[in-house]
Structure 1
Amino acid sequence: MDQEDPGFSAVGEVAGDRVTVRVSGEVDMATADAMFRAATPGRVRAATLDLRAVTFFDSAAIHTLVRLADHYPGALKVFPSDRVRRVLDISGLGHQPWVSADQG
């Protein structure tokens, strides 16, 4: 089993029916599931992902965002770092309604 990057962190905070997850470090095959788990605690209906401190974002991370968009239809908001935005733009997901155009 892959070990998580020691610089990776995904900390969720629930307020009402929304979870806000602040993610830092590298989101990849070893850490994407931890980001998903942090963003899907029980009894929430919406999620905000703050990815502004993410330094690396691969295809496993993209897949996780798509899973979260399916999990929270119309109720996901993502604040990407410049690197994450570039990956999302290249993958064709940069203009999804859940990708914030501003920096939060």
Structure 2
Amino acid sequence: MFVDQEGPDPNFSAVVAVADGRATVTVAGEVDMSTAGAMLRAARTEDAAAATLDLRQVTFFDSAAIHAVLQLAEQYGDGLIVLPSSQVRRVLEISGLAGQPWLSE
């Protein structure tokens, strides 16, 4: 298990666990310009060919966070699954990304 809490921001955490070639990254708090890189680093593990990005505990999600998710979609392709909170889903809908195959219901 790897925990990445970038800087002194108590409103963010990203915890990753790898099993059977899939990284599961559980993200909590605010994902913004100051924390999106930490989320991205947590999900980019060499031990995984696929990733689940669990964003159900995310309370804020900005354009830097969207960019990080798109980079993960490029890296993992069909192997990426994103589990959004209602706030994340709304941002992705506004951004025109609600129909992406990696976005879970």
TM-score (norm 2): 0.91
- Alpha carbons of structure 1 residues 40 and 80: separation in structure 2 relative to 1, 3 Å: same
CA contact (8 A) 1:4 1:30 kept: no
- 1:1-104 to 2 correspondences below 5 Å: 3=7, 5-101=9-105
Structure 2: where are the runs of 5+ without partners? Answer: 1-5
Structure 1: where are the runs of 5+ without partners? Answer: none
- Number of matched residues? 100
Q: Tell me how large the CA RMSD over aligned residues is.
A: 1.2
TM-score (norm 1): 0.92
- Alpha carbons of structure 1 residues 66 and 4: separation in structure 2 relative to 1, 3 Å: farther
Deviation at 1:100, TM superposition (A): 0.2
- CA deviations 1:52-94 (Å, max 9, x no partner) are 0000000000000000000101100000000000000000001
SS at match of 1:97: coil
- Percent identical among aligned pairs is 61
Deviation at 1:5, TM superposition (A): 2.2
Runs of 4+, deviation exceeding 2 Å:
2-5
